[in-house]
Amino acid sequence: MSAAPHLCYFEPRIPENTGAAIRLSAVTGAHLHLVEPLGFDLSEPKLKRAGLDYHDLASVTVHADFDAFAAAMPESRIFAFTAHAETIYCDIEYRPDDVLLFGPEPTGLPEEVMAHPRVSDRVRIPMIPGRRSLNLTNAASLVTYEAWRQADFS
């Protein structure tokens, strides 16, 4: 089992970001979960190009909806990433079964998902005031590597 956390993209819309997340999964061992509906077909050329030749090296699961995803991870803490939170990503002591949940571009996670009873906390990545957000996979990479670093990159 990898010490990297699980990564979940809720209703992703941009294939290049998901392709980059596939590469992130392959190089860190983080299991990537995609919650439908997806804004693209998984065989789309842009997704394949962004994921390069890492598709066979990544662990990816597609879930029909958020409840199905949450049911598949019954013991995991789920951290919902949003620009509107008090908890900062580096203040969490991550565990290998944690889930890093990110919303679709450009809207982010809807309130009903962030308020879901399975969501453990809302978390943010600090930014200069007046900035909206980081690129989805840049944000996911930053937090995935922090969680993996805490586990000594095992």
Whether residue 13 is contained in a domain is answered as yes
Q: CA nearest 76: which of 101, 106, 107?
A: 101
Residue 107's alpha-carbon distances to 27, 55, 83, in angstroms, are 27, 27, 11
Whether residue 1 is contained in a domain is answered as no
**Kind and range of the H or E run holding 99:** strand 99-102
Q: Which CATH number is 32's domain given?
A: 3.40.1280.10
Tell me the C-alpha distance between 145 and 86, whole Å: 21
Q: State percent of the chain over pLDDT 90.
A: 76
Mean pLDDT of 92-120: 96
Whether residue 126 is contained in a domain is answered as yes
Counting the structural domains of the chain, the total is: 1
pTM: 0.93
Count Cβ atoms below 10 Å from residue 97 Cβ, excluding itself. 13
Whether residue 124 is contained in a domain is answered as yes
Tell me the C-alpha distance between 148 and 101, whole Å: 16
Mean pLDDT of 7-18: 94
Mean pLDDT of 110-114: 97
Q: The domain containing residue 26 runs over which residues? A: 6-150
Q: In sequence order, what are the beta bridge partners of 79?
A: 100, 121
Tell me the C-alpha distance between 96 and 135, whole Å: 24
User: What's the pLDDT at 81?
Assistant: 97
Q: Identity (one letter) of the amino acid at 128? A: I
Whether residue 115 is contained in a domain is answered as yes
